[in-house]
Amino acid sequence: MGKGNAGKGNAGNGNAGNGNAAHDKTLDPGQLDQLILRARGGDSDALGAVYGHYRPRLEHMVRLRMDRRLTGRFDASDVLQETFLEVTRRFPKYAKDPQMPLFLWLHYLTGQRLLQLHRQHLGAQMRDASLEISIDGGRAAMAASSLCLAEQLAGSFTSPSQVAIREETRNQIEESLNALAPIDREVIALRHLEQFSNDDVAALLGLSKAAASNRYIRALRRMKEQLGDLSSSTTF
Amino acid sequence: MSANPPSSDERDPVEILAEEFSERHRRGEQPTVAEYVERYPEHADAIEDLFPMLLMMEKARTDNDSTPTAVEPPVGLERLGEYVIARELGRGGMGVVYEAHHERLARRVALKVLPEKAAVMSPRKLERFQREAQAAARLHHTNIVPVFEVGCDQDLHYYAMQHIDGRALDQLIIEMRDSRRSDFLCGTEVAVHTQVYYHRVAEIGIQLAGALAYAHAAGTLHRDIKPGNVLIDAAGVAWLADFGLAKFDESTLDLTATGAVLGTLRYMSPEQRRGEPTHSSDIYSLGVTLRELATLVRVHDDPTQAAPTPRLPRDLETILQKAAHEEPTQRYTTASALAADLRRFQDDQPILARRAGLWERTRRWCRRNPALAAASCIAVIAVLVAATSGWTGYVNTRDALHLESVQKTAAQKARKRAEENVQLSLTALEKIFDALEPVSGEARRRNGLGRPGGAPGRRGPGGRGGSNERRGGPPIEQEKLLLQAILSFFDELTRKNSSDPALQVAAAHAYQRVANLQTNLGESVAAQQSSARAVDLFEQLLARYPENDAYRVEWIEAKLRTIATTDTPTAIAARDRELKHLSGELTKLGAHSEADLLQVQLLISGGVLEVARGNVDAAEAQYADALRRCEQLLALRPPRRGAIQLFGETLRVYGEFLREEKQHERALDLFDAIEFSLSDRKAAHPRALHARAMIHQEKALVYEEIGDWSAADKARDDGRRLLREGGPLRPLSPRGRPGQRRRGPG
């Protein structure tokens, strides 16, 4: 209630681009640059708005990686909120010397938070499920799980007429993803479900551009082997 | 890889094509596999094999993206459940609030619609929402906005609350900050930051804390107290809204909520941020809210950027500090305790909250700075206890700078503040030194002027060095510890600020003063070590600024004090070399104003060295030269700063030498001659009086040695009289401090 009840006209929080809620997710590049600039100047509301801009993509990122066993304990918004705390804390340092583009950095921090949560709540089971991959000299990252990926990918088969085969399809996709090394699975997730470029993937995973490129192609081939007729029998 | 396209960075060519293919698809183009096969025949196989999967995955993504779970209630919404919507009151990240009427009850309500489609809300979350709403509906308190109903209609979850005709506190705070008037809040014309205003803040605090106490007793947490959730109605009553419900306002997908989330974070206790909301965290949030109301300065994430905060009445400040203490155990245990203390403030009664004492602040500081604390926690505490101010601010600011590099200007500002704090701390340290010097001076004063009629032999069994026996006991031990603490502090300070010359110099001076005090306490070895630290620092400074004569002067001075006093042949040879070296360094100074003083010190050291070598005549020549130079320095107008101390030192060493040599008559003649020349010239000058007092003191020692007790007593009386006439002798600065007492204080 708050302001609204108090008879104030517009209860926006003063954030640019805050106007019309959920549908208007993206800021135009000019707005975004302005906000980033303000955030660098210490304006925490601006930082909030910038985070808001990227939030749908980050949420998507979380959904791809969150283990089923954790749902019920948290949801994606919990992770994002906690990540945002970390973002707020670290932003001044990041702003001083950005080591990677802003979104990649946010993505990275989200992944770190997710990793912590998984470690905390799943412990040893986590490694069994090969959710954790190690990247770039000792750092670790949270890999997309086969199941989540499969859910996403199987979505394309979910038309009313295909409901019956959906579950089977999902299983097949999951199997094909399981055949991938976790890091290759992660490359696929980043490339397609999160629309990162090869260079971004390389930066995120601490790989050379060539290595990221090769892994991607290798992963595609491997998936193709596993999926077999499935993809060829589907019309796009 | 074969057939690398240009600028590929060794990337797989098929991958490059795949990236292009996917991107075109994302842009809404309709690239086909066949098209690519045709364009790149050399990769035809791979493209045919793999690109269909790209299409599949891209399609999968877009399919999934098209199922939003967040929702906007339609703009033209007319009814919801049994409510007729009158108008929209507000809309934002927290959902939409309408003013509405209950059809049958003709009740005016505020209707809040959750920004999440009912269909996609998880059963778990829905159940939690309903449970919280029921709990909120059970709260009946004059300062809690009543919740009437929770419902779901047209795929929208909503709850209905009493409509409060008033203003939200967050808006009021902004208005008051701009207008400097608090007329609405106070119900009459009142400027902000007045006594009346603060009492009104306390009144609001009492009401809200009362509401909180009631809800807590009923087992309900608010979880989101902030100015935006406090309403002030036309009668001036404060209302707390959204008990336990605020968190449902945030849709999982609602990006605009992040601003609101951040806004909330400002008011959230550390433990709540970790996901552990408690009664205590509600008290914390209320404390922060009230503080914002009192100061009209928004709590900022970055303290270096915050606007200056007005000075609150001390008691109110203390209460709010306690309420919003970072440490839950330090807060009020209940909301009613907070209300009670606020009432005491209103009634001008003594409040129960105590400001964090120095000890507490120190403890917290140590917890916040574990690394530093581990290095010298005990030591720093001791210094803190003595210094009472300065350090914490400095260290915090510095650490803040270290951890979060803020904007440059802000950094400079903070740095300036840090330096000011250091200066403050150093001033505080000066006070410690000043406080210590008379005491330890007393310890070293041989047959002190303040001890009339002292008996012979009080120099103790040790003959020369019996300084401690007189004071003895714990006080000296405490002083020694304190000095150690100061040393540790400066060790840390210099280690962490090795690039800051000003701090290095300050530290070196402190080491010198510590060395003085340690000498006075009879800790000659420790004193030498302290001086060695100063020497080190000055050597570092000289290496960086070889032309800086001020550093050279201080370096020589410090160096003189470190010269060993052991009389083994090798040690003597080393001393000789060092003195010659210093002599050479001294000539580099040319006509520097301090060169004279240093020359005297070198002469004294040289004399002592000659004594150790057994060259009595050479020693006396050096002492006499030193004394003559001191006299000249004292004769200057104004007398050279530090000359009086140097004079006393020379006199003492020279006198001691003569007594050792049993040259009592010559000593008395010499002293009389000096006193005559001093009294002849500028009798009234305090320094001359002090100098003469010192002479009488030395004479008394000679008389005592030859057994002329009445003459000794008279000399002491004369000395005291001259001392009184001369007024207090100012504590010695690190500069102008005479050379070490290598023959011991006695």
* Distance, C-alpha B97 to centroid of its chain: 45
The verdict on a CB contact (< 8 Å) between A156 and B59 is yes
Cα atoms found within 13 Å of the Cα of residue B250, Cβ hemisphere only: 22
Q: Is the pTM of this model over 0.80?
A: no
Look at residue B579 and tell me whether its pLDDT is greater than 50: yes
**Confidence category of residue B144, pLDDT binned at 50, 70, 90:** very high
The verdict on a CB contact (< 8 Å) between B252 and A18 is no
What is the CB neighbour count within 10 angstroms for residue B404?
21
Q: Is B10 on the interface with A (CB under 8 A)?
A: yes
- State the smallest CA–CA distance between residue B346 and chain A in angstroms: 27
- DSSP E strand boundaries for B166-208: 166-168
Q: Is B242 on the interface with A (CB under 8 A)?
A: yes
Cα B366 to Cα B126, B363, B370, B401: the distances in Å are 45, 5, 6, 18
- Comparing C-alpha atoms, which of B466, B449, B387 is closest to residue B422? B387
- State the smallest CA–CA distance between residue A11 and chain B in angstroms: 5
Q: Is B591 on the interface with A (CB under 8 A)?
A: no
What does the block give as tokens for B72? 């906007």
What is the CB neighbour count within 10 angstroms for residue A84?
24
The verdict on a CB contact (< 8 Å) between A217 and B12 is yes
- State the smallest CA–CA distance between residue B495 and chain A in angstroms: 24
Asked if B686 contacts B640 with a C-beta cutoff of 8 angstroms, the reply is: no
- pLDDT, one tens digit per residue, over B334-373 is 999 999 999 988 887 777 776 544 444 445 544 554 443 3
What is the CB neighbour count within 10 angstroms for residue A116?
14
The dihedral sign for the CA sequence B189, B194, B195, B199: positive
Q: Which letter, b or e, does each residue of A144-178 get, where b requires 16 or more Cβ atoms within 10 Å of its Cβ?
A: bbbbbbbbbbbbbbbeeeeeeeeeebbebbbebbb
Of A48, A81, A188, the CB nearest to B259: A48
Tell me the C-alpha distance between A57 and A195, whole Å: 10
- State the smallest CA–CA distance between residue A80 and chain B in angstroms: 9
Question: Which DSSP string corresponds to chain A?
Answer: -TTTTTT-S----S-TT-TTGGG--PPPHHHHHHHHHHHHTT-HHHHHHHHHHHHHHHHHHHHHH--GGGBTTB-HHHHHHHHHHHHHHHHHHHHHS-SS-HHHHHHHHHHHHHHHHHHHHHTHHHHHTT-EEEETTTEEEEPPPHHHHHHHHHGGG-SGGGHHHHHHHHHHHHHHHHTS-HHHHHHHIIIIIS---HHHHHHHHT--HHHHHHHHHHHHHHHHHHHTHHHHTS--
Of B145, B231, B261, the CB nearest to A81: B261
Q: Which residues are CB-neighbours of B639 under 8 A, at least 6 positions away?
A: B633, B685, B687, B688
What does the block give as tokens for B533? 């630290």
What does the block give as tokens for B636? 């200057």
B-chain residues near A22 (CB < 8 A): 68, 70-72, 115, 251, 253-256
Alpha-carbon Rg for chain A, nearest whole angstrom, is: 20
Q: Which residue has the higher pLDDT, B156 or B437?
A: B156
- State the smallest CA–CA distance between residue A137 and chain B in angstroms: 22
Cα A221 to Cα A171, B51, B75, B82: the distances in Å are 19, 10, 50, 59
pLDDT value at residue B178: 86
B-chain residues near A51 (CB < 8 A): 258
Angle at B433 between CA B430 and CA B436, to 5 degrees: 150
Asked if A186 contacts A143 with a C-beta cutoff of 8 angstroms, the reply is: yes
236 residues of chain A, pLDDT tens digit each: 333 343 333 333 333 333 333 333 467 777 788 888 888 887 778 888 888 888 888 887 887 777 767 766 777 888 888 888 888 888 888 888 877 788 888 888 888 888 887 777 776 565 555 555 655 445 556 666 666 666 665 554 444 344 444 555 556 666 677 777 777 778 887 888 778 888 888 888 878 888 889 889 988 888 777 765 444 333 33
Residues 44-63 of B with CB under 8 A from A: 46, 49-50, 52-61, 63
Q: Which residue has the higher pLDDT, B374 or B237?
A: B237
What does the block give as tokens for B658? 């003569």
- State the smallest CA–CA distance between residue A210 and chain B in angstroms: 4
Which residue is associated with the tokens 């008011």? B267
A-chain residues near B97 (CB < 8 A): 1-2, 4-5, 11
> Quick check: bond before B638 cis, omega within 30?
yes
The verdict on a CB contact (< 8 Å) between A85 and B97 is no
A-chain residues near B404 (CB < 8 A): 92-93
Q: Which amino acid is at B278?
A: T
Size of interface A-B (CB pairs under 8 A): 252
pLDDT value at residue A207: 80
**Confidence category of residue B497, pLDDT binned at 50, 70, 90:** low
- State the smallest CA–CA distance between residue B413 and chain A in angstroms: 15
- Comparing C-alpha atoms, which of B130, B156, B145, B1 is closest to residue B77? B156
Phi and psi at residue A26, to the nearest 5°: -105, 145
What is residue B463's three-state secondary structure? coil
Q: How many residues would you count in chain A?
A: 236
Q: Is B168 on the interface with A (CB under 8 A)?
A: yes
Of B10, B262, B275, the CB nearest to A45: B262
B-chain residues near A203 (CB < 8 A): none
Helix H or strand E encompassing B476: helix B473-496
- pLDDT, one tens digit per residue, over B635-673 is 776 667 777 778 888 888 888 888 888 888 888 888 888
